[in-house]
Amino acid sequence: MTVPTHVAIIMDGNGRWAAQKGWPRIKGHKAGVQVVERILEAASDAGVRHLSLYAFSTENWKRPPLEVGALMALLRMYLRMLVHQLARKGIRFHHLGALQGMPTGVQADMRALEEATAKNTGMTFHLAVNYGSRLELAQAARRCVEDGLSAEEINETSLGARLWTAGIPDVDLLIRTSGEHRISNFLLWQSAYAELYMTDLLWPDFSPADLRAALEDYTQRERRFGGI
């Protein structure tokens, strides 16, 4: 079986999962966090080298303040307990997104976890919070200018080196749950040749077995990268 080096997941459907049970949306997010823990472990065990999870987009700030506040509180709680799981599995943590614009406590927790896990040599877990592909690309373009690059020097390599994902291999497999067939501003540049895997399962129902099914499906795909 060919294991994809970089798997990215758009974790969608927490709200609907909770609503189906007559529960508040935040209960869906809490259940979603537990699934994150299991999937992290399953991906690491399967030999995935990079796992990117989309937890909060630059557009998600438009949600009701109560839900945003609850998500941020959940995120901080999660980051604090994550350090033990990551140490056990030798997983490195990396925040994907703009630090600026996030609550300062979240920024500090993100940095602390990156530092605490910097020497781990297993899978890298990229958690996308305050992430948007268009913002990432615009920032990379601005950094090219700030770095004094001439028009001729701006190319795929120099721009790619200024993305938040600099040095990380492109996405091989992009999974989205909850039956939506959208990329929603997630890793647009990095997913240029990614295989897409959409499932109707809502994120809280997505299990390690479902991840393994997606990995299995990936091995059946013939990737040509634009060639023949």
Residues annotated as catalytic are 12, 60
Q: Which is nearer to ligand FPP, 56 or 218 (CB)?
A: 56
Structure tokens at 118: 């910097």
Q: Which is nearer to ligand FPP, 182 or 223 (CB)?
A: 182
Report the nearest approach of ligand FPP to the CB of residue 67 (Å).
8
CB 44 within 8 A of CB 91: yes
Measured CA to CA, the distance from residue 44 to residue 47 in angstroms comes to 5
Cβ contacts of 218 within 8 Å, gap of 6 or more: 2, 4, 172, 173, 195, 197
Q: Does 132 bind ligand FPP (CB under 6 A)?
A: no
Q: Which is nearer to ligand FPP, 21 or 223 (CB)?
A: 21
Q: Does 72 bind ligand FPP (CB under 6 A)?
A: no
Q: Which of 4, 6, 12, 124 binds ligand FPP (CB under 6 A)?
A: 12
CB 130 within 8 A of CB 97: yes
Q: Does 75 bind ligand FPP (CB under 6 A)?
A: yes
Cβ contacts of 145 within 8 Å, gap of 6 or more: none
Report the nearest approach of ligand FPP to the CB of residue 175 (Å).
13
CB 47 within 8 A of CB 1: no
Report the nearest approach of ligand FPP to the CB of residue 148 (Å).
38
Q: Does 32 bind ligand FPP (CB under 6 A)?
A: yes
What percent of the residues of the chain are helix, what percent strand, and what percent coil, each to the nearest 5? 45, 15, 40
Q: Which of 11, 39, 171, 214 binds ligand FPP (CB under 6 A)?
A: 11
Sheet containing strand 6-10, strands side by side: 92-96, 124-131, 50-57, 6-10, 173-176, 195-198
CA triplet 5, 29, 38: central angle to 5 degrees? 40
CB 55 within 8 A of CB 39: no
Q: Which is nearer to ligand FPP, 104 or 220 (CB)?
A: 104
Binding to ligand FPP, residues 141-170 (CB under 6 A): none
Q: By CB under 6 A, which span of 25-33, 37-45, 138-146, 188-196 interacts with ligand FPP?
A: 25-33
Q: By CB under 6 A, which span of 38-46, 67-75, 111-119, 140-148 interacts with ligand FPP?
A: 67-75
Residues that bind ligand FPP (CB under 6 A): 11-16, 29, 32-33, 36, 55, 60, 71, 74-75, 78, 178, 203
